Amino acid sequence: MLHPTATQVVYARPGGPPVATLPATELGSPTWVPVVQSQPGWDRVLLPARPNRSTGWLYLGGSGLQTAYSTYRVKINLVAFRLTVLDAGRKLGTWTVAVGARGTPTPAGRTFLLASLAPRHPTYSPLILPLGLHSNTLSTFGGGPGTVGLHGWPDPAVFGHAVSHGCVRVPMAALRVLARIPLGSPVLIAR
């Protein structure tokens, strides 16, 4: 994983044209993005941008990049309504969750934990974990760009059902485990 300590230019390909910038923070949290490919002097990273699963290249020869490695993996099976957290291949838990409704499905594919938000006055969840993923059906939601996230839900009757606007609603026990996972850790959402 890479963390820009200052805004970094994102390139279309190594030595190619600049296409975006990657800020040091996203949603008030330090930006950590997973590396999906490497070559000398360059890393290709997964970006928290539309379209989902967008990637870009960061030049490693400059300054302002920190590296880390996460042993955590989050797997979500949309059909089975199951979320599993692994640490170095060891299962930390599996929970039944709620996923996006038919008209606002949870997008599938690879993504990552983008941020950790603790609302000052929580209503439905004490913690919201936005992913580097956006709704395919909503261009905005709740004043934001339609970012999909993981969060708790006070009514356990929703678990095992497709009822959300695209977010994955998780039991509190799962949220406590997810809260310990480093930002930038990979999340794989499968149908």
Q: To 10 degrees, the CA torsion angle through 96, 100, 105, 106?
A: -60
Q: Average pLDDT of the chain?
A: 97
Same domain, 97 and 152: yes
At 12, list the tokens: 């279309």
Q: Name every residue whose Cβ is closer than 8 Å to that of residue 5 and which is 6 or more positions away in sequence.
A: 24, 64, 65, 66
Same domain, 30 and 109: no
| pLDDT for residue 142 is more than 90 | no
> Which CATH number do you get for residue 85?
2.40.440.10
**Per-residue pLDDT, 153:** 97
Using DSSP's 3-state secondary structure scheme, residue 133 falls into strand
| pLDDT for residue 148 is more than 90 | yes
Domain carrying residue 22: 2-67
Same domain, 48 and 138: no
How far, rounded to the nearest angstrom, does the alpha carbon of residue 18 sit from its chain's CA centroid? Answer: 24
Q: What is the pTM of this model?
A: 0.96
Same domain, 60 and 76: no
Domain tally for the chain?
2
**Per-residue pLDDT, 122:** 92
Report the percent of the chain where pLDDT is more than 90.
Answer: 97
pLDDT band at 151 (very low <50, low <70, confident <90, very high): very high
| pLDDT for residue 118 is more than 90 | yes
Q: Name every residue whose Cβ is closer than 8 Å to that of residue 64 and which is 6 or more positions away in sequence.
A: 4, 5, 6, 8
Same domain, 53 and 89: no
| CA dist., res. 15 & res. 88, Å (int) | 34
